[in-house]
Amino acid sequence: MILQSALPLAPILTPLGLGLLTLLPLRRGPRTALALLGGLLTLVFALLLVRGTAGGEVLVSELGGWRAPFGIVMTADRLSSYMSALSALCGVFALWMMTVHEDRVRERHHSFALTLFLLTGVQLSFLTGDLFNLFVAFEIMLVASYALAVLGSTREQLREGLRYIVMNLTASALLVIACGLAYGVLGTLNYAHLAQRSAELGAQGTVTAVGVLLLLVFAAKGALFPLGFWLPGTYPALPPATGALFAAVLTKVGVYALIRIFTTVFQQDPALPQGLLLGLGALTMFFGALGAVSQREWRRILSFTVMSSVGYLAFGLGLGTPDALRASLAYLAVSMLVTLALFLIAAVAERESGSRLVRPERRGFIEKRPLLAACFLLCALTAAGLPPTGGFVAKYALIRAGLLQGSGLAILAVVSALASSLVTLFAMLGVWRGFFWGKSAAPAPDAPPARPRPAPAPWPQRLPAYAASALVAGLALFAGPLFSHAEATARELRDNARYIRGVLGDDPVVIPAAPTGSEIQKKQEPGESP
């Protein structure tokens, strides 16, 4: 029982502790081993959380023995365990990629430790049980990400890193204001207690205003249009492994916060937030797809597809039906894993071609790396949502839910989703034709001497991309269990009574009244000065 109640702390403390150990003056071998161990142990604990919450249990860790809502609690239900496991899995792949792509300069500046601290903040975001500690988690995650974003100090990194930092600091400041307003209106910041208090108050304009302010904050963190302008420039400027981790995980933390706030916490008066999410989702899907087709660099194209995928998630959440929520949760796993795989493939392709462009002078890459080309094709079809991939199953479920919901805005979002899928497919086929397909062109007799070919990437550097692509293939094979878990999670989120009871217990929360002046005076000993 004690071990079970401490389990929500394990995925947070493990990367933090191992990250601190990597700061010691060690050789590269022990340091990389510690970093990988930190990622793997975090994944193991996250999977234990998934198993521990599979029956609908809510695991709670009360720090200092203070019960919620008076103390700080870490909570794990199906949703937070699911997100914890997916992000830990992406973290393992990013650390693996960092170890095989030696970057001694960044390693001397503690890139392993910063990545583990980033994972600490991500895990805390998913497992915290209150709004203020979500802000703390964002800050831990963002401080580490700021350092990783500018580590290397290239001009592009500093320019894009500054934009990323300013945007996130502004969003964090708004989050603090939203926390203050929520506490002022509802008297608590604990998720379960917030849900209980907002249900008691019913539909109220002030509570709705707090919810909309939180929606805007998390929309900026999740890169919904037009608040996601920082994303397409920031991710391509990062080193490959760091870019893959950022692209797969960071925007999904904002999406997680949106799901948590508008399913578990604020269930009253959902019309305005759902309408906003539907509108922003439709715009983000289409803007991301158009941006992808307009670019010619590997990771710029993929960064726009990340934006588009966040739009699909907002679309599903905005529909507000159980089917849509189930489809969104399934698409969340698809989006995270396919983004990770595509960024890892892009890292290998850039390394092998020596260019960030998808139309280098030496096309026909399929002759040289047929397996990598097959992996890219699989991931591209998954991102576009074509059968028989996992992306098709999830997008089909989302679009079906939109048609069943049937409102005008929902139909408009469905049209945007279908058009975005076609444009994304066109963008991905452009990469395929321009980089993989065809034969390498022989240089013209009067052409200037070609630049020397970069050394081919050794197989250990290609292995993470192949393994991540295998996970993407597995999404299609195991779509049934994925949707079953997503359906159980969606059902739990729609009925938040189990979560509230798991965190607050069966007894009603009684907030002790502050003693009055006369009561204090009665308690004073005779003769004692007031």
The string of DSSP codes covering 197-247 is HHHHH-S-HHHHHHHHHHHHHHHHHHT-TTTTTTHHHHGGGS-HHHHHHII
| 245, 326, 522 from 484: Cα distances, Å | 27, 9, 61
Assess contact for 339 and 248: CB atoms under 8 A.
yes
Asked, for residue 64, whether it belongs to a domain, the answer is yes
- Pick from 20, 83, 2, 12: nearest CA to 41: 12
| Nearest CA-CA partner of 305 in 251, 239, 260, 373 | 251
pTM equals: 0.92
Low-confidence spans in the chain with pLDDT less than 50: 530
Backbone dihedral region for residue 335 (phi beyond 0: left; psi -120 to 50: alpha; all else: beta): alpha
Residue 271 buriedness (CB in 10 A; 0-12 / 13-18 / 19+):
exposed
- What DSSP string runs through 413-457? HHHHHHHHHHHHHHHHHHHIIIIISS-PPPPPTTSPPPPPPPPPP
Residue 161 placed within a domain: yes
pLDDT confidence of residue 230: 83
In a domain, 88, yes or no: yes
Q: What is the pLDDT of residue 13?
A: 96
Q: Which two tokens stand for residue 230?
A: 């920082």
| Structural domain boundaries enclosing 6 | 1-439+459-507
3-state SS class at 297 = strand
Q: Is residue 186 part of a domain?
A: yes
* Whether residue 388 has a cis bond before it, omega within 30° of 0: yes
CA distance linking residue 240 with residue 463, whole number of Å: 14
Total number of domains in the chain: 1
SS3 of 75, please? Answer: strand
Question: What is d(CA 77, CA 96) in angstroms, rounded to the nearest whole number?
Answer: 28
Determine, yes or no, domain membership for 519. no
**Is position 521 within any domain?**
no
The pLDDT tens digits of the residues spanning 293-349 come to 998 889 899 999 999 999 999 999 999 899 999 999 999 999 999 999 999 999 999
Residue 235 lies in a domain: yes
Asked if residue 127 belongs to a domain, the reply is yes
Q: What is the pLDDT of residue 236?
A: 86
